[in-house]
Amino acid sequence: MVDLMHTFIEDRNRIQPNHANNLGSAHGGNVLRWMDETGAMSAMRFAGKPCVTAHINSVDFERPLEIGDIALIEAYTYDSGRTSVRVRVRAYAEDPLTGEAEVTTESYFVFVAIDTEHQPAPVPELTVSTDEGEALREQALTEE
């Protein structure tokens, strides 16, 4: 069994001009790539084996990430099936000077664990052993 908090991953990328569109904000594709990569890290930490993206729920871009912002990506596994791993992923605009962060983008991803033959592989059971983990899981399940 793997605990939810063990799957919590944070990644940061500073928005540079090469990440931006002609409006000076991050291309949605870059943000989505970072979200997918961080979500996969969470899924793999949970499954203990490689995982591939199987499904992405709607992606809500709530506000842009501007050049100079830090893209803070948070992901955690909140549910699982026999071979599937459900991960909540959120992107934040983090001010590099103050650390203040505001949600910019969020979605729910489903990954499938695979074996060495690239076939679906069983995943462990998810446990939740802290109040923080229970709050994160409940939030993901109710807002999905």
CATH of the domain at 85: 3.10.129.10
Average pLDDT of adjacent 10-residue blocks, the chain of 144 residues: 96 97 96 98 98 96 96 98 98 96 97 98 97 97 90
Q: CA-CA distance, 126 to 116, in Å (whole number)?
A: 23
Q: Apex CA 25: angle with CA 22 and CA 29, to 5°?
A: 90
Res 144: pLDDT: 83
pTM: 0.95
Written as six digits, the tokens of 37 are: 């990569």
Q: Which domain holds residue 68?
A: 2-143
Res 76: pLDDT: 98
Res 108: pLDDT: 97
Asked if 75 contacts 37 with a C-beta cutoff of 8 angstroms, the reply is: no
The CA-atom distances, in angstroms, between 89 and each of 60, 65, 74, 77 are: 11, 16, 6, 9
What is the tally of structural domains in the chain? 1
